[in-house]
Each structure stands twice: as C-alpha cells, then as structure tokens.
Amino acid sequence: MLCSSYRATALGGACVTALDQERAARSIEDHYGSASSNTVLERRLRVTTPDLKNNSKEIPITFEDLHLQDRAMGPIPRGYMGFTWSDSAWFMNTAYSSSVCPGVRIGLLNAHGRDITIENNHLFDLKGLSLCTLWAYNAQVLLEGWEKEVRKYATIQAAPRGSTTRCALDYRGVDHVELKAGGTYLVITAITFLFK
C-alpha cells in the first residue's frame, strides 16, 4: 500500500472554529433533513450500475453522473454503481466541494461526520481513493476492507484541508469497505474499484 498527498490549492486561510462547524452541520441537517431520508431524492436521481459480467474491469467512481437538479447535496441513491451505501453517504455539488477540494465538481460527503460503509454482494478490490477534510485542518481516516465480516485490511490515512490526498490501496477480495473519520467531515472525490 502506498499513500501519498499532493497539494492542490490552499484555501484562503480562514479560521474555522468548532462553533462554525456545528452551525454549518446544523444548517445542512435543517435544510436537507436527516441522512435517512433517501426515498424522495432517489426518484429524482439517475442510478448507474456497472456491468458486472465484464470481470476484471476497474470502475472509477467520481460521482459526476449524479445530478441534484436544484439541490446542493443529498443522500447517495440506493444501488448507485451497484453498491449499497450507508445513510451517511451523501453527495454535494460545486457550491461546497470546489471550495474544499479545488477542481472538484461533485464529491461524496460523510453526512453528520458519521462513518461511511460501501457494500456489494460480489467480491471486489478497492484500488484507491482521493479525499480531503471539510473543516478540520488535518484528520486521521481509518480505511477498512472486510470479507464476510472479517477485517482483512486497515490503513490510517492523514487527510489535510485544502488539498486532496490520493491513497493507492490494494484491498483485494472484499465485500465491505468502511471509512471512519472519528466525527470529522470528509469529501471523497474519487474511488476506484475492480470487480472480481
């Protein structure tokens, strides 16, 4: 496993306090509801599912095909790209993600600072992901790969604010991935899977 960080563009140096984080999180929840209100939004989003018949195909997920119409963020729809996503897996558009991760139009957010789980009935490899923090200046993210309820892989990755961290992983033959940020808000800009 090789994890590396690269600097994209630094944010404007604004000081973000814990109170700012709390206000913003409460505002997001008040405006968009809880992470469990997924059904109305699902009907408005196009759900993309990869062709699993073509084995050994890398599937990069950048969330660019999710269109919110008039919403700035919302839950990932059930079945998106053939995966089961936890209720805390939300996506957000340019209004938020580009100010945090420069050059990103849409990203995956761990709503309410909760852990994200991604599951599939078929084994897959997690090849890598790119992420950054939303408000914290530096966070430690635990990335876990599981097969049949047995943890096979675990990596702790530092994720700074204002730059995107690319983490190349080689989690082979897993059916469940967990991203644990300990309450810190993250934006995941890309995930690459290889279906078995």
107-145 pLDDT, tens digit each: 898 999 999 999 999 999 999 999 888 777 788 999 999
Q: At residue 41, does pLDDT exceed 50?
A: no
Tell me the average pLDDT across 61-68: 79
**Rounded Cα distance, 189 and 179, in Å:** 13
Residue 82: C-alpha distances to residues 30, 48, 52, 65, 98 (Å):
30, 7, 9, 14, 26
Kindly report which listed range (39-53, 57-71, 128-142) carries the lowest average pLDDT score: 39-53
Q: At residue 17, does pLDDT exceed 80?
A: no
pLDDT at 150: 97
Q: Is the dihedral of CA 56, 64, 178, 101 positive or negative?
A: positive
pLDDT in tens, 161-194: 778 889 999 999 999 999 999 999 888 989 999 9
Q: At residue 34, does pLDDT exceed 50?
A: no
pLDDT at 68: 62
- Under the banding of pLDDT at 50, 70 and 90, the label for residue 18 is very low
**Rounded Cα distance, 3 and 180, in Å:** 17
**Rounded Cα distance, 24 and 28, in Å:** 6
**Rounded Cα distance, 24 and 18, in Å:** 10
At a CB cut-off of 8 Å and minimum separation 6, what does 164 contact?
6, 8, 101, 104, 130, 131, 132, 189
Q: Can you list the domains of the chain with their CATH numbers?
A: 2-195 (2.60.120)
